[in-house]
Amino acid sequence: MRLSGPDWVLLVFVLFCRIGGCLMLMPGFSSPRVPVQVRLLIAVAVTLSLAPLLLPALAAAVARPPTGAVIVLIVAETLTGVFIGLMGRIFFLALQFMAVALASFIGTGSLPGLPIDDGEPNAAVSSLITLTATVLFFTADLHWDVLRGLVQSYAVLPVTGPMAADLALARLADATSDAFILAVQIGSPFFVYALVVNLMFGMVNKLIPQIPVYFISLPFVLAGGMLLLYFAIGEFLSLFLDGFAGWQARG
């Protein structure tokens, strides 16, 4: 099928809708520390790089649709990209949730932090964990798996018109379940630590109520928590990246 120049521009823009919607929410690419102009240029560059690979199949699926169908197609492709990016983002939101809980478990939750990788300030330990996970996301070349998944998404979710909402919501629910199960698994040592430490100092408070247990216990809770974090942080992040890579491989 022979297409004119405007038709090719439309097809590239349709590609940009899905790719840009995905990168808008994908971890690392969507960081508020990355200027909006840079994110836009990254999305355009990725679209133009993948266009030679995807345009032939896209041109066969979309054959000069009418104006109304074009609008539906653009909205559907944008929402599809947003859902793909949101599924990846959920894993890092689950990690952030666990990192905030972890900071509270080891006694550093009340310490002030800075909004390094997010729009709101978190505890210093939480920001350290989420920022390190984002750096490892690029160091381990998992961002290339994101682009590979975008290419493969055109086989699973072809460009045929309105988005398959039931399939997208089912995938989103599965990703949310996998993400928070993974977060609870990697944070389980800190659950146990918080339970044991609070139980122990609660018993001390009952036995000797004259002692201000909260102020006395805080240095010991901090020391034990930081020691546990020192030995567990490597395995903590390794298991998270393995779980995220496994989800990417499953699609």
How much is the pLDDT for 8?
A: 77
Q: Is the pTM of this model over 0.85?
A: no
Cβ atoms of 80 and 163 within 8 Å: the answer is yes
Kindly report which listed range (32-41, 109-118, 173-182) carries the lowest average pLDDT score. Answer: 109-118
Please write the tens of the pLDDT for every residue from 142-170.
888 888 888 888 877 777 666 667 777 88
- Number of domains making up the chain: 1
The HSE-up count of residue 196 (CA atoms within 13 Å, CB side) is 10
In this prediction, what percent of the chain has a pLDDT beyond 90?
2
Residue 142 belongs to what domain range?
5-250
pLDDT tens-digit profile of 20-53? 888 888 888 877 778 888 888 988 998 888 888 8
Q: 15, 55 in Cβ contact below 8 A?
A: yes
Burial of 156 (0-12, 13-18, 19+ CB in 10 A): exposed
- Cα gap 132→141, rounded to integer Å: 14
Token pair for 188: 């389980």
For residue 1, pLDDT over 70 is answered with no
What average pLDDT does the segment 178-204 reach?
A: 88
- Which tokens hold the place of 18? 């899905």
Model confidence at 117, pLDDT cuts 50, 70, 90, reads: low
- Could you tell me what percent of the chain has a pLDDT over 70? 86
CB 222 within 8 A of CB 107: yes
DSSP state letter for 112 = -
For the range 240-244, what are the long-range contacts, defined as Cβ-Cβ under 8 Å and sequence gap of 24 or more?
240/91, 240/95, 240/133, 240/182, 240/183, 240/186, 241/133, 241/136, 241/137, 241/140, 241/142, 243/91, 243/178, 243/182, 243/186, 244/88, 244/91, 244/137, 244/142, 244/182
Q: Concatenate the DSSP letters of all residues of 65-100 into one string.
A: --HHHHHHHHHHHHHHHHHHHHHHHHHHHHHHHHHH
Cα–Cα distances in angstroms (integers) from residue 12 to residues 49, 84, 85, 112, in the given order: 11, 19, 19, 46
Q: What share of the chain is helix, strand, coil (3-state, %, to 5)?
A: 80, 0, 20
